[in-house]
Structure 1
Amino acid sequence: MLLYKTKIALVDDHPIVVEGLEKILATVEHIEVVGHFFNGKDLLSFLDHHTVDVILQDITLPDINGIELCKTIKLHFPKTTVLALSHHHNRKIIMDMLNSGANGYLLKNISRNELVGCISAAVKGEITFSQDVKEIIASPQLSTDQTAVRLTSREKEVLELIASGKTTLEIAGQLHISRFTVESHRKNLLQKFEAKNVAELIRIATANSLL
């Protein structure tokens, strides 16, 4: 009697993460990785023509917010299990992902055995979490001021223009403010999001549904 293998698709924009996951899951007898993708669009195209039992997906992707991707998957492929696999440990992001229909949330520091166990639990219909996520959910909820990045209307404008690729001088001209004021807003945004550079700033803001 042939063993049915759980068909898994991987979605992460970091090739080294995908390669590592493929190597780990290749050692599990009852799991088969049927595809890996670096963006949401390619995954959705694949799902149109292939059966996938479980999707392991990152939150931050180059073309679509992972939360929105999960909603789309659940809308068009409701029987497919979606597990978030991310380094984002913000409670709001975890809850937003679950509210979008995800079957679980795992942090990328998860061990091989825990990962396999969570996949198996999700296939059985359980909502599953890695141990660190369980602790985040179980901990007392902080106030909104502590959990969410709060932006002024001007900071939101600057953030959106930065994300659109505008330079400091272009932003200054469009908003009729000095370039020094724009630079001040830029520094404040990096500090608020604890981002090392603009690319990371955009990724985190997108993950928090602020872009």
Structure 2
Amino acid sequence: MLPNNHKISIAIVDDHPIVLQGFRSLLENNPLYEIAGCFTTGNEFMNFLQENSVDIVLLDITLPDGNGVHFCKEVSERYPKTIVVALSNLSERSIISQMFRNGAKGYLLKNTSAKELLDALNTVLDGKTAMSLEVKEIMQQPDLNTLQPVPELTKREKQILQLLADGRKSAAIAEELFISPLTVKTHRSTLLAKFQVNNIVSLINRAKETGLI
């Protein structure tokens, strides 16, 4: 716990203005906290940290300039005094687990209540792990991924999977592999189906868990 006379600085990283404004308004009205800044990209926040200290960052996972899972690891390694709390719509067990492995101290879904958010902030400041109720329920369920077979991928699917993991966009992948953007889109859809996930972040995390990248 920080000293009683210390006003807790919080940064919010999310590319949705409504989300930023909503959580900013909630925290600004609490005398215990001050908003260090609101950021729409991970790199913008990392640049801010070079010259400013932040006690807690509420970090989204799907960002326009990268994966919040990676930014979480970077913050934890370079700025260990900054507590990372994930704030996301993504509820896949693999992503939650990866965030905690990368140093996050909390994981909340964006539908969290004001009370749940404030309770979570108190929890992480006490050095404990915080999860919203839905996240706790997800993590208490059996890990079905261990029962799922590793998908069989074609050579082209493996190429596209690796390029997606490297952060490449569909247009860049199409140009590099000399195929059409529509073909890349079709392969992306096939990969999502084979890994039984519904977004690229989950796809990459699932592929890492199975050792395919």
TM-score, with length taken from structure 1: 0.79
Summarize the alignment of residues 72-111 of structure 1 with structure 2, pairs less than 5 Å apart.
Answer: 72-111=74-113
Q: Which residue of 2 aligns with 1:174?
A: 178
Structure 1's unaligned 5+ residue stretches are 196-200
The count of residues paired between Structure 1 and Structure 2 equals: 200
Cα-to-partner distance string for 1:88-144 (whole Å, 9 max, x where unaligned)? 111111111101111111111110000011011101111111111111111122133
Structure 1 residue 203 displacement after superposition? 5.5
Q: Which residue of 2 aligns with 1:157?
A: 159
Structure 1 residue 48 displacement after superposition? 1.3
1:114 corresponds to which of 106, 113, 116: 116
Match of 2:95, SS state, is: helix
Match of 1:34, SS state, is: strand
Partners of 1:70 and 1:182 in 2: CA distance: 29
Match of 1:165, SS state, is: helix
Q: Which residue of 2 aligns with 1:59?
A: 61
Percent sequence identity is 40
Cα-to-partner distance string for 1:180-210 (whole Å, 9 max, x where unaligned)? 9767535434645665xxxxx5455466677
Q: Alpha carbons of 1:25 and 1:64: their partners in 2 closer, same or farther (altered >3 Å)?
A: same
Match of 1:88, SS state, is: coil
Q: Assess if the C-alpha contact under 8 Å between 1:3 and 1:30 holds in 2.
A: no
Q: Assess if the C-alpha contact under 8 Å between 1:26 and 1:33 holds in 2.
A: yes
Alignment RMSD, CA only?
Answer: 3.2
Partners of 1:183 and 1:86 in 2: CA distance: 25
Q: Assess if the C-alpha contact under 8 Å between 1:53 and 1:80 holds in 2.
A: yes
Q: Which residue of 1 aligns with 2:23?
A: 21
Partners of 1:82 and 1:19 in 2: CA distance: 19
TM-score, with length taken from structure 2: 0.79
